[in-house]
Structure formats: structure tokens, C-alpha cells
Amino acid sequence: SYVLTQPPSVSVAPGKTAKITCGGDNIGTKRVHWYQQRPGQAPVLVVYADSDRPSGIPDRFSGSNSAHTATLTISRVDAGDEADFYCQVWDSDSDYWVFGGGTKLTVL
């Protein structure tokens, strides 16, 4: 089955840029979606189809995807961005939605 690998944690100072990676075999050929989950809350879609943003999501959130790594970039990070972030793809070989293990973003 298809595996998505995320770093367990990423730390960043306020005002700086955070990059959260999502590794997978030829992930560049798939559409990657990203969800933010604040403690005790439901996930929220922040980036879909590699780099598109749903309405209401600030342009500080951006995404890219190439070869074996997709990346979620959050610029001008503030304390309100602290959350777990999950990447997701559809594995057409097994007809399965696959999530990465999640990355906890900590704002120092």
C-alpha cells in the first residue's frame, strides 16, 4: 500500500516560515491535499490539488509538489497556526485514501 511520510514535528519562530514535507513514491504524479487540525477540533482543508487554497484560507498557506516530496509552506507564522498538519492522496492502485502520519507545528 502507498505510504506518506511526514516529520513528526516542526518548530518555527513567530514571523518566520514553516515548511512541512510529505514524502511518497512519485508523489509528484498525484494530487496532494493538506489539512490543519487544531487541538480538539475537526480537520480543516488548507490546500488542495497540490497548491490551491479553499476560500477563506489566507495566502500565507501555499503548497508545492514534485518528484517524491510535497511541501506545505506557511509564511509569517503566528501562534494561531499551531496545529497538526496532515497530507493526503488518493492511491489509485488500491482505491484507498491515504493520510500521512501528521506533523505537529510548534510556534516557539
Partner 1 sequence: QVQLVQSGAEVRKPGASVKVSCKASGYSFLNYGIIWVRQAPGQGLEWMGWISPYNENTDYAQNFQGRVTMTTDASTSTAYMELRSLRSDDTAVFYCARESDDVSGGKYFDYWGQGTLVTVSS
Tell me whether residue 60 or residue 104 sits nearer to partner 1 (CB atom): 104
- CA-CA-CA-CA torsion sign (57, 84, 74, 48): negative
The site for partner 1 (CB under 8 A) is made up of: 31, 33, 35, 37, 42-45, 48-49, 52, 54, 86, 88, 90, 95-102
Q: Which residue in 100, 103, 102 sits closest to 23, CA to CA?
A: 100
Q: Which residue in 19, 28, 38 sits closest to 69, CA to CA?
A: 28
Tell me whether residue 7 or residue 43 sits nearer to partner 1 (CB atom): 43
Nearest approach in angstroms of CB 33 to partner 1 is: 5
Nearest approach in angstroms of CB 55 to partner 1 is: 10
Tell me whether residue 13 or residue 49 sits nearer to partner 1 (CB atom): 49
Q: Which residue in 89, 99, 86 sits closest to 20, CA to CA?
A: 86
